[in-house]
Amino acid sequence: MAAAGLSVEAKPDEPWTAKLLLDTLERAIHASKTEWLFLRELRIGTGHRGQSLQRLDAFALNCMPHLAMRRICYEIKISRADFKTELKNPLKKRVGMRFSNEFYFVTPGGLLAAEEVPVECGLVEIGHATFDEWKVLIRRQAGFFHYDPELARYCMVTVPACWRETPGPTWQFAAAMLRNQRKELEERPPAPPKQQKIQFDV
């Protein structure tokens, strides 16, 4: 749980949402667009015949062959009740684990204790902390740690996920990733390049 005396919960005027956690996660771990493909709300498959296809909260694919094309699945949990429901239905995360090398739960800081996390999964915690608080908080991390002084927000790996060798994605999954990326570009097109006037010496 959260270390004593640390203000690591969400600020009263900024309740934690899945979007806020994903924004922080992407900014901290997957900011490099040349190295990572970060997909949100990834629907598994492309069919529509009345079937409720599962969605992954987030899926990250490393594009560097020398880094083994690492694949990470993230499952967002805002409340303990949501996490407990997940544990009662282990088949829910099976698809995410099938396509990833590492599977992480992502929660607000202090929501879970390390021993509550299933052995085949990892835990990423995100929270608010002052500069002095994060220097104490960093002692709890077991792997990656990122602190954003501008937002007074941290992102840390509390429980590293075990690496699993899994088969590559199916064509259906590849099509789902491409469709997700196209939708992202349509909804949030990249900003136009900044142009400057060329000055000529007369």
Can you tell me the distance from the alpha carbon of 41 to that of 39, in angstroms, rounded to the nearest whole number?
Answer: 7
Give the pLDDT confidence of 125-148 residue by residue, as tens digits.
999 888 888 878 877 677 788 998
Asked if the structure places residue 119 within a domain, the reply is yes
Can you tell me the distance from the alpha carbon of 60 to that of 106, in angstroms, rounded to the nearest whole number?
Answer: 13
Q: Which domain holds residue 129?
A: 18-187
Q: What is the pTM of this model?
A: 0.79
Asked if the structure places residue 152 within a domain, the reply is yes
Give the pLDDT confidence of 57-114 residue by residue, as tens digits.
999 999 887 777 899 999 999 999 999 998 888 777 888 899 899 999 999 999 999 9
Give the pLDDT confidence of 144-153 residue by residue, as tens digits.
889 988 888 9
Asked if the structure places residue 115 within a domain, the reply is yes
The burial of 47, by beta-carbon neighbours within 10 Å (0-12 exposed, 13-18 middle, 19 or more buried), is given as exposed
Give the chain's mean pLDDT. Answer: 81
Number of domains in the chain: 1
